[in-house]
Structure 1
Amino acid sequence: MKNQTPMHWLSTLSGILLMWLFVASAAADEFLDPSQAFKLKAELSDTHKVALDWTIAPGYKLYRERLSFEAEEDASKIGSAVLPDGERAVDPNLGQEVETYHDQLAVGLPVKAMTGAFTLKIKYQGCAEAGLCYPPITKRFVVDAAHPGALQEGTAQNSSSITATKPESTANTDTPRDEGTLAQQALQSRQLGRIGMMFLGFGLLLSLTPCVLPMVPILSSIIVGEGNVTRRRGFLLALSYSLGMALVYTGMGVAAGMAGEGLAGALQKPWVLITFAALLIGLALSMFDVYQLQLPNALQSRLSMTSDRFKGGRFTSVFIMGAISALIVGPCVAAPLAGALVYISQTHDVLIGGFALFSMALGMSVPLLLTGISAGSLLPRAGAWMNEVKHGFGLMLIGVAVWMLTPVLPGWALLFSWGAFAVLCAVFLRVFDPMTDRVSAGGRFVRALGLVFLLVGVLEFVGAASGGRDAVQPLGHMYISSNVQAKQQPEVRFSRIHNLAELENTLKTTNAPVLLDFYADWCVACKEMEHLTFSNAKVAEQLGKLVLLQADVTANSDEDRALMKQFSLFGPPGIILFNPAGQEIRHGRVVGYLEADAFLAHLKQYLAGFRSISR
């Protein structure tokens, strides 16, 4: 293994820090507020033309057919809008071709009125690719030909524009199907004992993942650099490392959580994502020894002199190594960390959130503490295997780079990228090396794993070439439509409600669990829920045990908006569960599209809870 300079590792860790911030902030925000997803600026030029510019967040889109422009006082005061061509595609659920805009949209609107002011009403609508459709949005601007420049938004009473206030729905819409939701439930209980034990358990599980476990022998060899150490000193050295990791990791988590929405919005811009991905790929190449990241010799010498004062064995140096390792393991903890980050960003309860992250970091340090108590007797010998560990980190950096580009890449390019990554993993697992009698059983197992990666890569390539867009199910588009049509779809009947009064009356007069579904004709994800999830026979069977209500918010009327505001929803689809007493089960919410199997498990869990309540 080549000797790595301190600058090599510091540069690598700096890149991982940027990646860590992205992962943490992205986990805290699943859906953007519509004012952030579709940022609109309006300006009147000297040539009597209104320039309308939308900045569309990655992973979101605007529909051309939903754009409309109107001069409220007199329609003749404006001319026809000049719309650019959008991206055309046939939506499988709507069964028709739609035209959408991504990233940026610029529209020119001629103004015919040379004198006097009038109100320009603009309507538009968009969706998130992840499965949330926003209601139609209306903006009003006061236009005065005598005063060119940026237009001020009007305050008409019947405007349906959605404010930029961040509701609590994002924090409470997680379904109890992952560690992130369990983390949220523990945090909201505000019981320090429960929070500490749960996050300590999360950390212990994470310490056994491929991202963290290889660091144990590497960092432990630095900790016991003094040579022969007693069990007591070995434990104290390991504890110093653990505290350094825990304290810095907690600080980083709290900082990312407090930055919350602002950091997430800034890091979702395409050029930022591409820059981060390029940085990670560059760092990965250095892990494969394609080149060495080095500073000029003068600075390198100074760094070497400084690093000589922090060689393994002393408490301060071990504490620093623990702090540095917190940056390395950050990307591996996105799922349980999400709940803590959401909680901190919305409640600003740094004490509870920080304690949770501190407990998680201690859990991740348990294997190291055990190694410290053993006084180094459990450490493996250094050797060629450390090169393999370094290559593994390089592959992880490339994988995170591809994941980071998910909102930017079109479907075919994303599948191709994951296919290339899988084939690269197969190559490093020696799948193409000749098989000889000298290959050990472990080597044969590694090559078998490489064959699995190779097969995954081929499937991703086939999916990309055949029009697929789902990296998890690259060939799913080939059979999903035929399966839906071939099966006899069970009939699921919803009773329509039109306002809050009808909902409250139904809840008062019903002694059974209730499911409320928010639906709209223009909502693509609603169609997916109807055709792919509710049509599932097992799902329909479970739904038969509930009183099914549906709020059709297609018209986006005042009553529709009041219903969505009551539950802090941006738009459909949204599913709210109530217990037999008419009380909402906050953690029973589903926002966006959810596939049949996951939705079935979700229903079964809460139906079991209802039965236990009734007993």
Structure 2
Amino acid sequence: LVFVVLAMSMFGLFTLQMPVAIQTRIASLSNRQSAGTFGGVAVMGALSALIVTTCVGPALVGALLVISQSGELARGGAALFAMSIGMGTPLLVVGASAGRLLPKAGPWMELVKKLFGVMMLAVAAWMLVRIVPERVALLLWAVPALVLAALLWVESRARSAAAWGLRVAGVVAGLYGVALTAASALGGTDPLAPLPALGARAHALPFHIIKSVADLDRGVAEAKASGRTVLVDFSADWCTSCKEMERYTFTDPAVQAALRSTVLLRADVTRNDADDEALLRRFGIFGPPTIAFYGADGRERSGYRVVGYMKADAFASRTRAAFGSPP
């Protein structure tokens, strides 16, 4: 929601800035600083950063939100340092050129600002896809694509110089947004390749959903009675690694061959209710993704558990080893 609000600010629906009185006072302090000294230049730069908050504020707030979500202080500090270098380097280059490289102000600045708004919407979608079903995730990715298409089309009508290029880019963005929407309706999962993903989806493994310890015991008992092995996959809609396993590992031919005669059970712990917690306690795990293997004798091969994402070739080897090992 915060990123959507910041995007609306970039689109010009409202202005995110410091009060005018404070801006005026800061500007007067900046003008009184002595030129030609390192201290004066440093103070002037600090005050100028406050003055231009209306331009860089949404981008900086967005960066801080992403860093706070990750919880990694060192990485966050490095990201802010890199951002400051990126913002400061053009000023150094333009300043060293004595103004010869300074681009002229014009309508292009407004277009760049709106493009940053589209990027804000993309970041909002990126943060939400972790907690929504895959079909909804594709719709979320379609929003910034369609907004970008509309923006470029409108801008192309107002700019005769670059109208053709803007329209082509707008058509490409629009087609991508439509493809994402169609893929969402038809069962696609991959935003980078929405339509090819539909074919891969048809070859997904046939998991049986279980919601309780009783369901688990019943499934293992039935598999034991028929002499079949069992795979139990702990998954959730908000689990990104689970989606990677579903998209890249479980669709691999070698993995599917290793699981051809296996009963596939999926413990969906999306709701994290009492039944889900009981299933997690049964295996002594904290959350998905975790995969457990049961032999044809109905006993778990606990030494072969998979925790986290595993590539297809390694997972196929682990599966064959688990089902071929003694209890």
Q: Scaled by the length of structure 2, what TM-score is found? A: 0.53
Shift of 1:459: 0.6
474, 480, 486: which one pairs with 2:194? 474
> Counterpart in 1 of 2:89?
366
| 2:108 is equivalent to residue 385 of structure 1 | yes
Shift of 1:448: 1.6
Residues 413-443 of structure 1 deviation map (CA, whole Å, 9 limit, x = unaligned): 33223223211101111279569xx944x43
* Unmatched runs of 5 consecutive residues or more in structure 1: 1-276, 346-352, 486-518, 541-553, 575-589, 601-615
Identity %: 26
Alignment of 1:498-537 (within 5 A): 521-523=232-234, 525=242, 528=246, 531-533=250-252, 535=254
Q: How many residues were matched structurally?
A: 236
Shift of 1:380: 0.7
> Counterpart in 1 of 2:44?
317
Structure-1 separation of matches of 2:45 and 2:184: 47
| 2:128 is equivalent to residue 405 of structure 1 | yes
Alignment of 1:381-460 (within 5 A): 381-430=104-153, 439-440=160-161, 442-460=162-180
Structure-2 separation of matches of 1:430 and 1:527: 38
Shift of 1:469: 4.3
Shift of 1:403: 2.7
Aligned-partner SS, 1:388: helix
The structure-2 alpha-carbon separation of the partners of 1:595 and 1:415, relative to structure 1 and needing over 3 Å to count, comes to farther
Aligned-partner SS, 2:179: helix
Q: Which has the higher contact order (CA 8 A, sep 6+)?
A: 1
Alignment of 1:257-268 (within 5 A): none
Residues 516-546 of structure 1 deviation map (CA, whole Å, 9 limit, x = unaligned): xxx9523455974763247279xx9xxxxxx
Q: Scaled by the length of structure 1, what TM-score is found? A: 0.31
What amino acid does structure 1 have at the position aligned with 2:233?
W
571, 578, 592: which one pairs with 2:308? 592
What amino acid does structure 2 have at the position aligned with 1:427?
A
State whether residues 520 and 572 of structure 1, in contact with CA within 8 Å, keep that contact through their aligned partners in structure 2.
no
Query: More helix per residue: 1 or 2?
Result: 2
State whether residues 573 and 593 of structure 1, in contact with CA within 8 Å, keep that contact through their aligned partners in structure 2.
no
State whether residues 532 and 595 of structure 1, in contact with CA within 8 Å, keep that contact through their aligned partners in structure 2.
no
> Counterpart in 2 of 1:143?
none
> Counterpart in 2 of 1:572?
290
The structure-2 alpha-carbon separation of the partners of 1:467 and 1:570, relative to structure 1 and needing over 3 Å to count, comes to closer
The structure-2 alpha-carbon separation of the partners of 1:521 and 1:483, relative to structure 1 and needing over 3 Å to count, comes to closer
Query: More strand per residue: 1 or 2?
Result: 1
Residues 550-591 of structure 1 deviation map (CA, whole Å, 9 limit, x = unaligned): xxxx99999x97xx9xxx9986359xxxxxxxxxxxxxxx96
What amino acid does structure 2 have at the position aligned with 1:288?
F
| 2:9 is equivalent to residue 289 of structure 1 | no
Calculate the aligned-residue CA RMSD, in Å: 4.9
State whether residues 289 and 308 of structure 2, in contact with CA within 8 Å, keep that contact through their aligned partners in structure 1.
no
Structure-1 separation of matches of 2:280 and 2:3: 44
* Unmatched runs of 5 consecutive residues or more in structure 2: 206-229, 236-241, 259-266, 268-278, 293-305, 315-327
Structure-2 separation of matches of 1:317 and 1:358: 20
Shift of 1:384: 1.6
Shift of 1:361: 5.0
State whether residues 183 and 189 of structure 2, in contact with CA within 8 Å, keep that contact through their aligned partners in structure 1.
yes
Structure-1 separation of matches of 2:249 and 2:14: 53
The structure-2 alpha-carbon separation of the partners of 1:536 and 1:378, relative to structure 1 and needing over 3 Å to count, comes to farther
What amino acid does structure 2 have at the position aligned with 1:572?
T
